[in-house]
Amino acid sequence: MSDWPVKKNATFELQFPMYDADGDLVSAAASLDTEVSKDGGTFTDATNEAAEIATASGCYKITLTSTEMNADRVMTITKTGTAGAKTAVNLMYTAVRQLIDLAFPATSGRSFVVETDGVVHGDLKEWLGVAPAALVSQRVDVTVGAMQANVLDATAIASAAITAAKFGTDAIDAAAVAADAVDLIWDEPLAGHLTLASIGQLVNALGLTGAVADAGALATDFDTDGFTEATNNHFNGHVIVFTSGALRGQARIITTYTGAGQNVAFDRAFTEAPANNDEFVILGPLAGGLGRLIATESDGHAHADVKEWLGAAPNVLVSSRVDVSVGAMAADVVTAAAIANAAIDAATFAAGAIDAAAIANGAIDAATFAAGAIDAAAIANGAIDAATFAAGAIDAGALAADAANEIADAVFQRDMDAVEAGAPKHSLASAVLKAVSRIRDNAGSLEVYRTDGTTIHFTQVVTTDAGLDPIDELAVGV
């Protein structure tokens, strides 16, 4: 052990000799078995086992754990299988403190003064080798090197202790002021701050504070206190807003104020009844004066009924729909899906009623029209262009007889020189050119010319037979 006495509840290395019957040391004792007893209890196997300190020394050591040493009296027995060797027995009395734990005067012959409560009397003479300053009003004289945030709070500062002269510029920053010091400003009662044209007077004008004074309060009405007003209907039309409790933030319109009990009733119930002493603010009345309130639905939305439109009364609803006059339509408003089959016939339209901008591309297909529904007078000049029609929109059934005749007349009376340039070889235009325009057998190639008589439109290979007296050329048709 490093000191005396043996320390309780601390790991300890026990060293001891082993003897034979003649009192001689036994070296290399075999089959060592150490057991521990605490405060006279049953012996149990030690956690560790004894071992000889040095070869042929006859002295042994064992480390006892703190648990094994946690007793006032600790006894060990160490048995061996070596013939003639005696069992080693050790008894230790433990103590909570050792001599090393005690303090002694630096000079021999001096002693500490121990008070009746067992505390040693001390008188500070030095701090890191330097004599400290004397006490000031029996308090330690210190120099404050640093202060943690929020050390100076409202309770630490005496009333009127700090004046304007105490502060240097930027002397107090945010970290030095505790939150509760700021809270005192917000919690200051308005009653003492109602000077004319003051902020306190302005804040007080925003609303009247009060609290529920009704243990049986309902969601529809309750008694109040915190102010005095005995006139019935005094607060009708005002808004009440809760600032505490389960209804905090909810607002209702006061419809009936009863002076007796200062009872308030509302346009609609709160979501639940308030608790007694829940606090609220009564704000000013709604715009429009007292007595006229906006009706609200159960979902909280305002109920509105249109009475005027720019000062004029509108028409009544038609089949629960607004009766309107369509002044304009955006492009592509009328689509194919919006028009019922056969909904449009000839009598529907005034002359030129529908122009190109009013009809969406592809809006009108074949199924839209009744037979003969559209005649020439119903369509304004330029109203229908190519983009207006969906593919296959106009079929034979959609055309009136006179319209079909006009189309046929235009096809047959069309001059070939207007279409021949783009006409493919196997087209009606090419067939007409071959029938009435210039053709010529040019060394076995039949040339079909366009109407100018010089431009070849297409050619065909000719097989001739001299015996049949073939035709060499046909002139332009006249």
CB neighbourhood size of 235 (10 A):
24
Task: Give yes or no for a contact between 82 and 110, defined as CB atoms under 8 angstroms apart.
Answer: no
Task: Give yes or no for a contact between 264 and 257, defined as CB atoms under 8 angstroms apart.
Answer: yes
Longest alpha-carbon distance in the chain: 168
CA-nearest of 187, 210, 357 to 282 is: 210
Q: Encoding tokens for residue 73? A: 């009296």
What pLDDT, on the 0 to 100 scale, is given for residue 292? 53
All structural domains of the chain, each given as residue ranges with its CATH number in brackets, are 6-99 (2.60.40), 336-410 (no CATH), 420-474 (no CATH)
| 3 state DSSP class of 416 | helix
- CA–CA distance, 108 with 105 (Å, rounded to integer): 7
Q: Encoding tokens for residue 102? A: 């005690």
Task: Give yes or no for a contact between 306 and 314, defined as CB atoms under 8 angstroms apart.
Answer: yes
Quote the Cα angle for 303-309-314, to 5°.
90
- CA–CA distance, 17 with 27 (Å, rounded to integer): 9
- CA–CA distance, 373 with 342 (Å, rounded to integer): 8
Tens digit of each residue's pLDDT, the chain (478 residues): 456 789 999 999 999 999 999 999 999 999 999 999 999 999 999 999 999 999 899 999 999 999 999 999 999 999 999 999 999 999 999 998 877 777 667 777 777 777 888 777 777 889 998 999 999 999 999 988 888 888 888 888 888 888 878 888 877 777 777 777 777 777 777 666 767 767 766 776 677 889 999 999 999 999 999 888 999 999 999 999 999 999 999 999 999 999 999 999 998 899 999 999 999 999 887 654 444 555 566 666 666 778 888 888 899 998 888 888 888 888 888 888 888 887 777 777 777 777 767 677 777 776 777 777 777 776 777 777 777 777 777 777 777 778 778 887 777 777 878 888 888 888 888 888 777 888 888 877 888 888 888 898 888 887 766 666 666 665 554 3
Task: Give yes or no for a contact between 185 and 154, defined as CB atoms under 8 angstroms apart.
Answer: no
Q: In the sheet that 439-442 helps form, which strands lie side by side, from edge to edge?
A: 456-461, 445-449, 439-442, 473-474
- CA–CA distance, 166 with 352 (Å, rounded to integer): 92
Quote the Cα angle for 98-99-101, to 5°.
70
What pLDDT, on the 0 to 100 scale, is given for residue 478? 37
